[in-house]
Amino acid sequence: MSSTTLELESVSHSYGNRVALDNVSIKLRPGQFNALLGPNGAGKSTLFALLTRLYRLQQGEILFDGASINRQPRQFLSRMGVVFQQSTLDLDLTVLQNLEYHGALHGLSGRAIRARAAQELEWLGLADRLGDKVRSLNGGHRRRVEIARALLHQPSILLLDEASAGLDVASRQAINRAVRDLCRQRGLTVLWATHLLEEVKPEDPVIILHKGRVLADGQGQALCTDTGDTSLGDLFERLTENGVPAV
């Protein structure tokens, strides 16, 4: 199992006067499917932008395996795979070309990229679409390509920001199942950000984020037991209505 840890310590971020994240402290459970649950506007994407170093940290600290990501940013980026909410695929290029570009940017040789791409796409059921233009793929398949791409450089942590957004129910479930399998089989630490409760299981470690604040952090079932809520849905609804932390 992976021992990779990712931890945020008192992270705050503002856009001018608007506070997007307010003193957020969380620690991902290594080798597990960590769910980051929050409604739209909760601050999930800002959190992702900070984790991926697209945004400069204004306040607080992000620790990767105990070390600040600012100290060894390149090492951190090389061990992290990301699927963003907005698709980042080049629609006019083929699936393989998209993967080749990403792999090359991570310093992989063409041969290594092609071998890994075949392997990941086989696993994701897209082996026969290698030469197809991304534009010709449906939303679910594009998401799978993005996951394959995020795995290409063999990261130890995988971040997915609303990876199932805009997909039909069947595709959403398939993507969610595939990532859970990945987490189980490869011991990857996963952070799955979503606003959809049905994508989170009671046994998952759950972080509930609302208006930039962490309202709950713990195993889903245990959180319900502690707070007396009958389900994660009730807990989520109550917390996001009141805005009062449960922990």
In the complex, the residues that contact other proteins under the rule CB under 8 A are 15, 20, 38, 40-49, 52-56, 73-75, 77-78, 80, 82, 84-93, 97, 100-110, 161-162, 193, 195
Query: Whose Cβ is closer to other proteins: residue 76's or residue 229's?
Result: 76
Nearer to other proteins, 33 or 48 (CB): 48
Tell me the closest approach of the beta carbon of residue 136 to other proteins, in angstroms.
Answer: 14
Q: Cα separation of 191 and 193, whole Å?
A: 6
Q: Angle 95-105/139-151 helices, nearest 10 degrees?
A: 30
> Tokens 């990532």 label which residue?
179
**How far is it, in rounded angstroms, from Cα 240 to Cα 15?**
22
Q: Which is nearer to other proteins, 34 or 229 (CB)?
A: 34
C-alpha dihedral (112, 113, 118, 122), degrees to nearest 10: 110
Please, what is the minimum distance in Å from the beta carbon of residue 204 to other proteins? Answer: 18
Closest separation between CB of residue 228 and other proteins, Å? Answer: 29
Contact residues for 80 (Cβ-Cβ < 8 A; gap 6+) = 51, 52, 155, 156, 157, 158, 159
> How far apart are CB 19 and other proteins at their closest, in Å?
12
The token duo for 62 is: 């992000």
Output 102 or 141, the one with its CB closest to other proteins: 102
